[in-house]
Amino acid sequence: MSKYIFTSESVTEGHPDKICDAVSDAVLDELLRRDPYSRVACETVATTGMIMCMGEISTKAQIDIPAVVRKTVAEIGYTDDSFGFNANTCAVFTTIDKQSPDIAMGVDNAYEGRDNDLNDIGAGDQGMMFGYACDETPELMPLPISLAHKLAKRLTQVRKTDVLPYLRPDGKSQVSVEYDASGRPVRVDTVVISAQHSEDVSLSKIREDILKYVIKDIIPDKFLDKNTNYFVNPTGRFVVGGPMGDSGLTGRKIIVDTYGGMGRHGGGAFSGKDPTKVDRSAAYMARYVAKNIVAASLARKCEVQLAYAIGVASPVSVMVDINTFGTSTEESSKIANAVREVFDLRPSAIIETLDLRKPQYRPLAAYGHMGREDLGVKWEQTDKAEELRAALRK
């Protein structure tokens, strides 16, 4: 393969879609804090002057959803009418129902245990989930999405610490990385930053500051050269942003949430869903499996697919896709067998293994759900690498 360029994007926590993800996950966390067995499917929509939470929730907990919404939006930074959105004055609507009893029946009592009282839980839906890992970064994530997330996070940091006080909460980053013929990242070709700002700052000032305090602060010098392209606020103006500039919706940034397009995606969103929803929990588990395979030096790149049927505990398929990337040290079938031996992939086991019933989801709503070693989430641990190597030696 000849050299190529791959691009990934990220967005800040003030992006309208990310506001919605944060609200949905904040609601989930508050419910899990009071009732760890809450069944939650909370989606949020935001537009000019308004936020609405909708979905299905079955729980013993009682929470003030509008208060959670306002607190979350204020923490993001929308606290002034001049920003285009204000947590203190926006309208908040809720339309919540209970989980469908037909779905609850399959989750509460898995197909495999209905004749023998095994009392296992079934998957909350059908579908397929992908996990991916590679050795391009210390956290075993693809370099383009890793850099894009760090740039977006830095945009928020320089805003909140008043390094660049004229910035506003909305923003985007995009990084194009050049790979050599062996598939190794060698340089950053293009960086794109779009940052919402106050009306009284010049474009030249924004571009100078973003280059100095954001781009050069995050991207290692070894990846930058005289041919690297920088585009900062390429439209020339970004004053109107957030829900005033564009409507937001939970689950509309699923590629940002995962691997930036490097590796496939099953299509299911994460935010606002409790761990019985395999869209979320099995995607985390697939990442855990893939990361441990790479950490065990069984492959430089690894993609894992899991698939489930609603109400059935065991996955209907486990596919460890190694040979496609040409980086495996073992046959794909042998690694798949080792995965089945080391990892219990039933929803109940995933929840227990990854400790998914505790409130931990609000911080994941921006800057990626994968590679988040900074948050100490269990699916980023590599504690199964030696077990995988041992299983392959049998």
- pLDDT of 107 above 60: no
- Of 59, 82, 70, the closest CA to residue 26 belongs to 70
CB 166 within 8 A of CB 215: no
d(CA 211, CA 193): 9
The helix (H) or strand (E) run that includes residue 116 is: none
Question: ∠ at Cα 271 (364, 275), nearest 5°?
Answer: 95
227-257 pLDDT tens trace: 999 999 999 989 898 899 899 999 999 999 9
272-296 pLDDT tens trace: 999 999 999 999 999 999 999 999 9
- pLDDT of 130 above 80: yes
Residues 6 or more apart whose CB falls under 8 angstroms from that of 218 comprise: 147, 150, 151, 154
Residue 63, CB half-sphere, CA atoms under 13 Å: how many? 25
- pLDDT of 112 above 50: no
Residues 6 or more apart whose CB falls under 8 angstroms from that of 41 comprise: 55, 56, 57, 99, 272, 273, 274, 277
Mean pLDDT of 184-202: 96
- The model's confidence at residue 310, banded by pLDDT at 50, 70 and 90, is confident
The pTM for the full model equals 0.92
DSSP sequence for 187-215 = EEEEEEEEEEE-TTS-HHHHHHHHIIIII
Q: Which amino acid is at 376?
A: G
Q: Kindly tell me the burial class for residue 2, based on how many C-beta atoms sit within 10 Å of its own C-beta (0-12, 13-18, 19 or more).
A: exposed
